[in-house]
Chains A and B, each alone.
Chain A
């Protein structure tokens, strides 16, 4: 386990989802999570928070996740930051068939449990996959 916690920016318009993701991820002790519920706020936060990975919902009212991702990739501050989409817009089958990539970007299909989220984060943060987590 790394000493330094990985910084994750979670963007979803559903506060309950962002809240629970933060609780669950921080509980593992490996992550520091910032949550935002709008694209605008997310853009602002990214510059300050300097995340190691951005977990992004696609369907958001002000700017959809795709556009937000493009904006992140265009900005010098965040262009190197890996982005993972977490969305209800695809099915698990679709994600599986495409080996976790849709349109070239990594996807997580809702609803996911913590195990799946952590596994995906570790993959994209370059962390060796750990089996440290398990639900009781």
Chain B
């Protein structure tokens, strides 16, 4: 009987075939292993057959291997051939060498890694008669291994290169990996720090614990998006180091952190530097402030120095004039004596009744007296001759001085205003010298008011420094708060030109017309005030006229 297959639908049949081919191809593509078999006789390989999977792994078909017995050898990467050969020889001898991983060149030219596991078969006498080999494509695995190794090496390199500590915390098991550097940063050897979260907790400075836990908690719970913590950890030597911890967490799909890793940077040096900087800055600010104040003082001192210099120049002028004066005075007096005596003789011996003669003689005598007056004043400048200080009442001295020039005042048609302080403290002074001072000032005032006016004389007392006008180097002998007595002489004349005020005490400087006064008056007045340890101030009154202020130290009141 014949069996015939009837193909009802040829196209369906062809499709079915195609499907099967495709399935096979896919299956083949997913094959990574295949088996080869080697028959052995007398310790030598006789035949080799490669299973169908060899095409997927090597690219070559079984038929190609069959056709070329040395194909498999040529396929091996040349550098690996020695070890492969060695393995084969060992198997042929009857040994069971371990699996060998080596490289082959795929038919398409790619370099692939295979794992060759030989399994020998022996006869009853133990002689090898064949062996099977399981060949596995481990290219992917090798690639992964390589990548991993590279990654690990890179990590190790990076960790080493950064000199930072590294930590890797398993939040589930609470175990932590602390790098060697992490531990050595704190002075510990590897074995001296447990690989546990609690190890870190124990090392945290008590003052930082709360903050550290809060910061960590906030990050892990998702409140903050980054983790950065500056905190102190205890070094093995007992001191604390400032550490900057940074890290990042790995979260599961639910968002829960399962792992966290990061770095530790030793900030101690930086913190110290910061502190030093802050300190240095504070010191610098202090120095700056001190410098500024010193500069201010220097400027003030400079101004005072310049003022004092001017004063010294003036004093020197007076001094030189004074020294000159003593010599000149003596030299001039003798000729004056001759003239005076001569005038006496002439007066006695010239014919009388001649009015002109009498006038001439009188004029000559007046001239001698005037010259003598100048000499006298010049001598005043040369030194404190018979200068005797006694405690006196200034008011009575002022009144007496006014009385002494009473006739001049009356003749001048000036109005006198007298405001004497009833509670004026007493002062130490040389009566005759001070009278000279007041008379001088009064005469000056009268001469300034040739058309009439008001002469105001006042005395008052107070503490030095209250009057802002009366400060400066000219008052150096007074300290703020010193009890002082002041006398003021105010006229309503034309005042002194501002340009002339600095020269007012210069010997022979005068603003009076020629022939009026000697020009020595104010120099002598100043000299007398200096001898009294007092001061004199002359300025124009904004309301007109000149205001002269004399200042003397008040005598301390005697308590009964």
Contacts and interface: CB of A to CB of B under 8 A. Distances in A.
A and B associate: yes
Interface of A: 14, 16-17, 20-21, 23-24, 27, 59, 88-89, 91-94, 97-98, 110-115, 135-136
Given A21-B341, A110-B333, A93 B432 contact: yes
A135 B362 CA distance: 11
A91 B379 contact: yes
A111 B372 contact: yes
Given A20-B342, A23-B345, 18 more contacts: A14-B337, A17-B338, A17-B341, A20-B341, A20-B344, A92-B376, A94-B385, A97-B386, A98-B386, A110-B337, A111-B339, A111-B341, A112-B340, A114-B341, A114-B344, A115-B344, A135-B348, A136-B358
A115 B344 CA distance: 9
A110 B334 contact: yes
B385 A91 contact: yes
B329 interface: yes
B330 interface: yes
A108 B258 CA distance: 124
- Which 6 residue pairs are nearest across A and B when measured between Cβ atoms? A88-B333, A20-B341, A111-B337, A114-B344, A111-B336, A16-B338
Interface residues of B, number: 26
A97 B368 CA distance: 23
Nearest to B348: A27
Interface string B410-427: 000000000000000000
B352 to A, nearest CB: 6
A113 B386 contact: no
Interface string B368-387: 10001000100100000110
Contacts of A113: 340-341, 343-344
From A27, A110, A114, A135, residue with most partner B Cβ within 10 Å: A110
10 contacts: A16-B342, A88-B330, A92-B376, A93-B376, A98-B386, A111-B333, A111-B341, A112-B340, A113-B340, A136-B347
Given A17-B338, A17-B341, A111 B368 contact: yes
A17 B334 CA distance: 8
Contacts of A27: 345, 348-349
Given A91-B376, A91-B385, A17 B337 contact: yes
A112 B345 contact: no
A110 to B, nearest CB: 4
B338 A59 contact: no
A113 to B, nearest CB: 5
A14 B348 contact: no
A91 B376 CA distance: 7
Contacts of A21: 341
A91 to B, nearest CB: 6
Interface string B383-425: 0011000000000000000000000000000000000000000
A135 B334 contact: no
Given A24-B348, A111-B368, A59 B341 contact: no
A97 B347 CA distance: 30
Given A88-B330, A110-B333, A94 B338 contact: no
Contacts of A93: 376, 386, 432
Contacts of B379: 91
